[in-house]
Structure 1
Amino acid sequence: MSNKGRVAVVTGGDKGIGYHIALQLGSSGLFEHICITCQDHNQAQAVVDELQNQMPAGVNVCCSELVLGDTMSMTGFAKMLEERYSKIDVLVNNAGMAFTHSDPTPIEEQCKTTMNINFRGTCELTEKLLPLLRQGTDPRLINVISAEGRLSQLSEDRQMQFTDDNLTMPQLYSLVDEYERDVLARNHLEKGWGNSCYGMSKLALIAATKVWAHQEPDIKVDCCDPGYCKTDMTHMKGERDPADGAKCIVMPATMANPPTGQIFSDYMIASW
């Protein structure tokens, strides 16, 4: 496939796993344009220059400021992509956040922030960009997840709700809202929920991946667990180099005829 005009977008591509995803996508020979996002505009040009210097000839790198979960920021980003490229061929939803296990912030306060960024923000941005993905050549949507999004954190009844083949996005949002209410009421465990806000946000994103895979037959939609990597989010305590973690995400983004609605982990399809 020619890389002529093909566009890859990587959120949170200015450091860590996202940086290496952008670098590997640009080095694959499948894209002419690599667009990354960052929150710190002051660092953007330095990151672009560093990536650009490592790219093959003919690959162009740009960076745009994006605050995930901020509707105005996400709308502006979508408008910029439409005006500049008129399409997206690959979107990698990598940006996210996590409280550390030792953070004293009560779970009630952690919950809304985590779900608003990792789930609602990612979903809202994706919905804004789906029209551009539909215009892409062999379009792919890749959501970066975590092993903490495992189904086993839920009761069997809750598992059935999230794995229902007929689940819709409004129903998924309703489940997330219910989880938040139960966390605030401090009865989430007895209601069958998990005890990790980050884990629940990634579980909900896996469910969203499967919903989009059903709703968007012309887009290959998958999610990938990069593993426990040495990044700022893990305070460099991870067991895997971020470049190796990025390879798992790049695989379904670049492979010929990938599956859709699947989870990738350790460079292969995994179970939920």
Structure 2
Amino acid sequence: MLLITPLEGRVAVVTGSNKGIGYFIALQLGLSGLFQHICLACRDLQLAQEAVASLKQQLPPEVQVSSAPLLLGDTTSHHELAQTLEERYGKIDVLVNNAAMAFKQADPTPFLEQCSPTLNVNFRGTCDLTEQLLPLLRKGTDARIVNVASMSGRLGQVSPERQAQFAADDLTMEQLHALVDEFERDVLAGRHREKGWSNSNYGMSKLAVIAATKVWARREPSINVNCCCPGYCKTDMTSQKGLRDPADGAKNAVLPATMEHPPTGEFFSDYGVASW
């Protein structure tokens, strides 16, 4: 159920939103009637400008759409985005962390060389960006964070001992980063399987994002923090081989961003709260 009354001046920021799932998240948030400002935070500025023009044609004139540069995984870019949003809006009401990367299945890059780039963007980049934007979110009205994760981040991909570490109710962000660092070291040393880790760099990056969601939900009681799996969507990341339209996948992120009295620290999949 959507919030009953639109709140004038509310700001939604969607990362990685010039195409695919992120584009449709931005569109659906704009159509919800709950936001006056939609900001696309994107790496490719030309594509971002084209997306802004496209969204303006589909959204009511009172919804203002703009873009801002973001290179996820680059802490300087994170800081500059935070400054831009502070100057432009003075707050954020909803942040959707959609930007991510994945090596294609056919990519010849060795597994161990894929590890650090994947973790640096999907987990460490998402964490640093979110931490830099938290002061603006704390100023928001009915503030929310939605982290776009994946079923690839399922808890069952690691050993029972590792599951207990990631799912601990008292897990801290420092401990979570230490676990991810340990996984990275074990991959580089060629011993990650015997240490109880998954054999998927992407899966581990998204597992860590889900765990981070739960840590933030406990640590930031004034902000609803949830994550979601859009499903296997037809996007560039899946080489258009997905089973779900990206507009349908986007709904899994839009739901916790717009529903009335949302939970916090939950994982949404197939348009409802799901088990991790």
Which range, TM-score by smaller chain?
over 0.9
Task: Give the match for residue 49 of structure 1.
Answer: 53
Match of 1:21 among 25, 33, 57: 25
Match of 1:60 among 61, 64, 74: 64
Task: Give the match for residue 77 of structure 1.
Answer: 81
What residue identity is the alignment partner of 2:260? A
* Structure 1 segments (4+ residues) deviating >4 Å: none
What residue identity is the alignment partner of 2:257? A
Q: Distance in 2 between matches of 1:230 and 1:204?
A: 24
Task: Give the match for residue 204 of structure 1.
Answer: 208
Equivalence map 1:136-215=2 (5 Å): 136-215=140-219
Matched, 1:95 2:99: yes
CA root-mean-square deviation: 0.7
Deviations 1:192-217 (Å, cap 9, x if unpaired)?
00000000000000000000000000
Matched, 1:105 2:96: no
Q: CA deviation at 1:71?
A: 1.0
Q: CA deviation at 1:270?
A: 0.5
**Do the aligned partners of 2:17 and 2:48 also contact (CA within 8 Å) in 1?**
no
Matched, 1:7 2:11: yes
Task: Give the match for residue 241 of structure 1.
Answer: 245
What residue identity is the alignment partner of 2:132? K
Q: Which runs of 5+ in 2 are unaligned?
A: none
Deviations 1:116-153 (Å, cap 9, x if unpaired)?
00000000000000110010000010000111001111
Q: Distance in 1 between matches of 2:64 and 2:33?
A: 12
Q: Distance in 2 between matches of 1:3 and 1:36?
A: 20
Match of 2:272 among 251, 259, 268: 268
**Do the aligned partners of 2:40 and 2:48 also contact (CA within 8 Å) in 1?**
no
Q: CA deviation at 1:2?
A: 2.9
Across the two proteins, how many residue pairs are aligned to each other?
Answer: 272
What residue identity is the alignment partner of 1:142? V
Deviations 1:46-91 (Å, cap 9, x if unpaired)?
2111111111120000011110011111110000000110100000
What residue identity is the alignment partner of 2:120? N
What residue identity is the alignment partner of 2:239? H
* Secondary structure, aligned partner of 2:225: strand
What residue identity is the alignment partner of 1:93? N
Q: CA deviation at 1:104?
A: 1.5
Deviations 1:227-264 (Å, cap 9, x if unpaired)?
00000000000000000000111001000000000000
Q: Distance in 1 between matches of 2:45 and 2:247?
A: 24
Q: Percent of counterpart pairs with the same letter?
A: 66
